[in-house]
């Protein structure tokens, strides 16, 4: 990596305005995001997995290069540790709403946020279905429905209520479902990715597991 040397981040170590002028590549963004704290006690019922830094940087850099982030108000629904929303702020988003009903993981997101002296984020400790603020775009990594069938539908419903542009991760075979469920929206698969699910729960046997997922743009 060139141009940006980072040590382990502590609260207030880096100011986002400084980073805005120094993040010159997807690789640099991934390095910064890799420093963020993840889940301490993941809730398997909520299918809590941290979006890995490489995947987050890959999709966010694409959106950034297509002018889909800078100056936008964005909601990160089911934000978890905040990696997607923080990445948006570092790439120039005007405002990001971090929404999660799990207060313990929302506290992790807040701590990650504080590391960058960010001042344009808002934290909402509530179910995504209760979020009602209109935004330019929603970005989300909803549950895939492994533990609770159709768990991603609540996230889609919440997103369609507040925006015309949704960026969302889903199982690769979900495109036809998304087209039917998101009536009135255009569904476009932007990427097919090998999503890394790291060992976060006691019953996980492997240190990491790869799942084929799609990153979709749902818009009207």
pLDDT of residue 143: 86
pLDDT of residue 3: 44
84, 93 in Cβ contact below 8 A?
A: no
pLDDT of residue 43: 53
What phi and psi values does residue 146 have, to the nearest 5 degrees?
-70, -45
126, 99 in Cβ contact below 8 A?
A: yes
Tokens 């069938």: give the residue.
Answer: 149
pLDDT of residue 171: 87
- pLDDT over 60 at 47, yes or no: no
Q: Which residues pair with 215 in a beta bridge?
A: 169, 191
Specify the pairing of strand 137-140 against strand 73-77: parallel
The larger pLDDT score, comparing residue 207 to residue 11, is at 207
pLDDT of residue 116: 85
Query: pTM (2 decimals)?
Result: 0.85
pLDDT of residue 1: 37
For the chain, domains (ranges, CATH) are 16-219 (3.40.50.150)
pLDDT of residue 65: 96
pLDDT band of 5, cuts 50, 70, 90: very low
- pLDDT over 80 at 204, yes or no: no
pLDDT of residue 211: 81
- pLDDT over 90 at 151, yes or no: no
- pLDDT over 60 at 203, yes or no: no
- The number of beta carbons lying within 10 Å of the beta carbon of residue 180 is 9
Q: What is the spatial distance between Cα 162 and Cα 181, in angstroms, rounded to a whole number?
A: 16
- pLDDT over 50 at 60, yes or no: yes
Structure tokens at 29: 């963004």
The larger pLDDT score, comparing residue 95 to residue 151, is at 95
Q: DSSP H helical segments within 70-218, as ranges?
A: 83-90, 103-114, 153-162, 175-181
């Amino acid at each position: 990596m060139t141009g940006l040397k980072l040590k382990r981040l502590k609260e207030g170590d880096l100011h986002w305005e400084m980073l805005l002028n120094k993040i010159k590549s997807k690789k640099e963004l991934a390095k910064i995001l890799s420093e963020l704290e993840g889940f301490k006690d993941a809730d398997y019922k909520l299918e809590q997995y941290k979006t890995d830094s490489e995947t987050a940087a890959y999709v966010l850099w694409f959106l950034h290069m297509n002018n889909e982030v800078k100056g936008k108000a964005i909601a990160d629904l089911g934000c978890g540790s905040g990696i997607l929303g923080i990445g948006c702020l570092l790439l120039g988003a005007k405002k990001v709403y971090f929404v999660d009903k799990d207060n313990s993981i929302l506290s992790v997101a807040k701590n990650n946020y504080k590391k960058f002296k960010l001042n344009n984020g808002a934290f909402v400790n509530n179910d995504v279905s209760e979020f009602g603020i209109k935004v330019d775009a929603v970005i989300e990594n909803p549950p895939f429905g492994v533990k609770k069938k159709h768990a991603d539908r609540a996230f889609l419903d919440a997103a369609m209520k507040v925006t015309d542009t949704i960026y969302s991760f889903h199982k690769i075979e979900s495109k036809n479902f998304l087209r039917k469920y998101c009536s009135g929206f255009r569904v476009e698969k932007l990427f097919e990715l090998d999503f890394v699910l790291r060992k976060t729960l006691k019953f996980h046997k492997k240190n990491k597991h790869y799942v084929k997922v799609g990153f979709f743009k749902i818009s009207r």
